[in-house]
């Protein structure tokens, strides 16, 4: 099973909003409301920022939001800040191999 | 607050067995609805799920690892372990231990440990 498809890179200026897409199939993203997103700074472990498509864990900034339409999930970061520069990964539950990851997106804050 | 910490050799020779342990504090690995997982990340690459052992002792291994992988738990020590046999350079990665919950989301993560496969 191939990885979920994410753009390799996105960029934005401070204060702007950006959206990262995560495209799968009806057997993963489209079939379940079990998409999660992780933020990873260089040399650090990933950090959960969204689970179950839209739910933000306690302590995560409300500038991060998630959504899903069909086989594509999206992470939106509003009011972009320098500290948001990181790699972002999506995952989805799938019955075939439990979970599948996206390839990751590098966010650059200009 | 649950915390996880990986430990094990940082260097393994090709064809040998990679062994790592994850010590869990702040919660019991026998607690309901937790799936104690391993995820790896080759240098400069993305994340890959390896497998888990559940709170009840059931295991799941990603099919591509199934023939070489074993995940076990020691409830008396509150830790779980990974053994990956017949390693090659392709198994060089940062290995993370992580708690998963129903729905397949992962939190919290250990800090990760780099394992290099080289002679």
* pLDDT per position as a tens digit, B53-90: 999 999 999 999 989 999 999 999 999 999 999 999 99
At A97 the pLDDT is: 79
Q: Do B107 and A52 touch (CB under 8 A)?
A: no
Any chain A CB within 8 A of the CB of B104?
yes
Any chain A CB within 8 A of the CB of B61?
no
Instruction: Report strand pairing: B59-61 vs B69-74.
Output: unpaired
Q: Do B103 and A104 touch (CB under 8 A)?
A: no
Alpha helices in A1-110 (DSSP H): none
Give the closest residue to B54 by CA, choosing from B76, B31, B82, B83. Answer: B31
Q: Considering only the beta carbons, identify the residue of A97, A102, A104 that sits closest to B62.
A: A97
Give the closest residue to B31 by CA, choosing from B88, B77, B86, B75. Answer: B75
Q: What is the DSSP string of B45-66?
A: S--EEEEEEETTS-EEE-GGGT
* pLDDT per position as a tens digit, A78-99: 999 999 999 999 999 998 878 9
Query: Helix or strand or coil: residue A92?
Result: strand
Classify the C-alpha dihedral B107-B113-B118-B119 as positive or negative.
negative
d(CA A103, CA B94): 16
At B103 the pLDDT is: 80
> Nearest CA of chain A to the CA of B56: how many Å?
17
* pLDDT per position as a tens digit, B12-42: 999 999 999 999 999 999 987 899 999 999 9
* pLDDT per position as a tens digit, B95-115: 999 999 988 899 999 999 999
Q: Do B110 and A57 touch (CB under 8 A)?
A: no
Q: Do A99 and B109 touch (CB under 8 A)?
A: no
Average pLDDT, chain B: 95
At B82 the pLDDT is: 98
Instruction: Report strand pairing: B11-12 vs B113-117.
Output: parallel
The stretches in chain A having pLDDT less than 50 are none
């Amino acid at each position: 099973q191939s990885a979920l498809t994410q753009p390799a890179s996105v960029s934005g200026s401070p204060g702007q909003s950006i959206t990262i897409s995560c495209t799968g199939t009806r057997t993963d993203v489209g079939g379940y409301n079990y998409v999660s997103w992780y933020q990873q700074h260089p040399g650090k472990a990933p950090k959960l920022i969204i689970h179950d498509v839209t739910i933000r864990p306690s302590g995560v900034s409300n500038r991060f939001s998630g959504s899903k339409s069909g086989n594509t999930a999206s992470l939106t970061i509003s009011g972009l800040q320098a500290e948001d520069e990181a790699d972002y990964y999506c995952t989805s539950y799938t019955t075939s191999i439990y979970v599948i990851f996206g390839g990751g997106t590098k966010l650059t804050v200009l | 607050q649950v915390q996880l910490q990986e430990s094990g050799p940082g260097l393994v020779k090709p064809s040998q067995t990679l062994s790592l342990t994850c010590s869990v504090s702040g919660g019991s690995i026998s607690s309901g609805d937790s799936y104690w997982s391993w995820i790896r990340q080759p240098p400069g690459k993305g994340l890959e799920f390896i497998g888990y052992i559940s709170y009840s002792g059931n295991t799941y291994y990603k099919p591509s690892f199934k023939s070489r992988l074993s995940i076990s738990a020691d409830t008396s020590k509150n830790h779980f372990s990974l053994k990956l046999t017949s390693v090659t350079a392709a198994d060089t990665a940062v290995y993370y231990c992580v708690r998963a919950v129903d729905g397949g989301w992962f939190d919290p993560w250990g800090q990760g440990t780099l394992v290099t496969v080289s002679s």
